[in-house]
Structure 1
Amino acid sequence: MHLVLNPNDPVVSVRLADEGFAPYVWGNDFSFEVNAYARADRHKKVEHWPLDMITPYRKCYGIDPDEFASFIGAPDSAIFMAYLDDQPVGHVVVSTNWNGFAHVDELAVAACARRHGVAKSLLDVVKFWSHKKKLQGIMLETQNNNIGACRLYERCGYQVGGIDYLRYRGIDPQTCEVAIFWYLLFESQV
């Protein structure tokens, strides 16, 4: 997708996903470059995590819009799409988790639209949605090879709640990929 933005300051808007969700997903590149694996430490800021540098490669999670089709219009889940100057460029899938937290099932921004506040806008909508549902906070997962996402979550007030070194070993026994679980805790709901 070739994105043409307002050169001064593109406008970000977010709204519920509609029938345009699947074509938007199929028509965008959500890959990112991996050039290091971070050694996550829940007691240190992301900027202080040691990095194991590697030969760079592109990572893509293979987003499938059909996986979340039942979320559209469901009472305990939602899909929100972000737009830059009215062009769809990002989405977040959120659901109510069993533990009283909102669970971000997926957050993605098209490669051509990064660094314009799209992901933060989507996280702000998730926060609003979660407060409306009277949930205790938000949880999500990323990996130690997506250092940009880790920095974003930390900037948005999330904290590392857990690190799982074995989560991806069933897919690849030799993987260096580590799951990092992030939480944004709300003040007690009164």
Structure 2
Amino acid sequence: MIIKMTHENIEDFNKANEELTVFGRIIPKYKDDVWTYTEELFSEQYTKGYDNEDIDVSYIDNENKTVYFYYVDNDCVGQIQLRTHWNGYALLEDIAVAKNWRNKGIGKILLERAIEWAKENKLIGLMLETQDVNISACRFYSKNNFIIGGVDNMLYSKFPTANEKAVFWYNKFED
């Protein structure tokens, strides 16, 4: 069940934000105005976590922002956070599914709700950023009609241990 974040369920924000296993990276290639990628699998895997974002109550009452939670029974096992962006896209700021609930279709359901929200707000598509070392996410976006729109090798340069590139994905809706 998908429920929009409200003052009553705001405590569920970040509940689904759990670590992921890094097992390789994508290697984007730009040629003839088209991005493609291959995958490099690592000989050793490692886990990576993301810091929890602070709860921003403006996502509750602002029509240009929203957070949706996915519940199984009364347990929040997924969330997606969106806002309108200056370029006419909906910016997918975060999508998370709890570790024990991954690969069960919850991410796809949340993504479908994000597409509905973007279309309700007359936006031209969805955009997001993830890291090249998050192969699972990259595969997920590629499988769900996203294409690479750009790569930034400086975004994470402040963090010497990150060794990551930012990959920007876009899903432009059909006219």
The question of a shared fold, defined as TM-score above 0.5 by the shorter chain, is answered with yes
Which of 148, 164, 175 is the aligned partner of 1:177?
164
Matched, 1:22 2:7: no
Equivalent of residue 60 in structure 1, options 35, 49, 52: 49
Deviation per CA, 1:135-160, whole angstroms, max 9, x where unpaired? 11110111111101111111110110
- Residues 118-137 of structure 1 mapped to structure 2, 5 A cutoff: 118-137=106-125
Classify the secondary structure of the residue corresponding to 2:109. Answer: helix
Cα separation, 1, equivalents of 2:12 and 2:113? 22
Q: Percent identity?
A: 29
Offset of residue 170 of structure 1: 1.6
Name the SS of the counterpart of 2:107 in structure 1.
Answer: helix
The answer to whether the Cα contact below 8 Å between 2:152 and 2:167 also exists between their aligned partners in 1 is yes
Counterparts of 1:118 and 1:163, CA distance in 2 = 27
Residue 152 (structure 2) aligns with: 164
- 8 Å Cα contact 2:13-2:79 kept in structure 1: no
Tell me the number of residue pairs that the alignment of Structure 1 and Structure 2 aligns. 171
Compute the TM-score of the two structures, normalised by the length of structure 1. 0.82
Q: CA deviation at 1:28?
A: 4.8
- Which letter maps to 2:174? E
Where does the alignment leave 5 or more consecutive residues of structure 2 unmatched?
Answer: none
* DSSP-derived class of the 2:28 partner: coil
| Deviation of 1:57 (Å) | 1.6
Q: What is residue 89 of structure 2 aligned with on the other side?
A: 101
Higher strand share: 2
Separation of aligned partners in 2, 1:29 and 1:92: 10
**More deviation in 174-183 or 142-151?**
174-183
Q: Distance in 2 between matches of 1:21 and 1:114?
A: 22
Match of 1:6 in 2: none
Structure 1 residue identity aligned to 2:97? V
Matched residue, 1:115: 103
Change (3 A) 1:175 1:65: closer
How many angstroms does 1:101 deviate by?
Answer: 0.5
Say if 1:163 and 1:154 are closer, same or farther in 2 by CA, change over 3 A: same
Unaligned runs of 5+ in 1: 1-12
- Code of the residue aligned with 1:111 in structure 2: it is K
Amino acid of the residue matched to residue 115 of structure 2?
Answer: K
> Deviation digits for residues 59-86 of structure 1, max 9, x if unmatched?
11112242x3321221101000012344
> TM-score normalised to the size of structure 2?
0.88
Q: CA deviation at 1:23?
A: 4.1
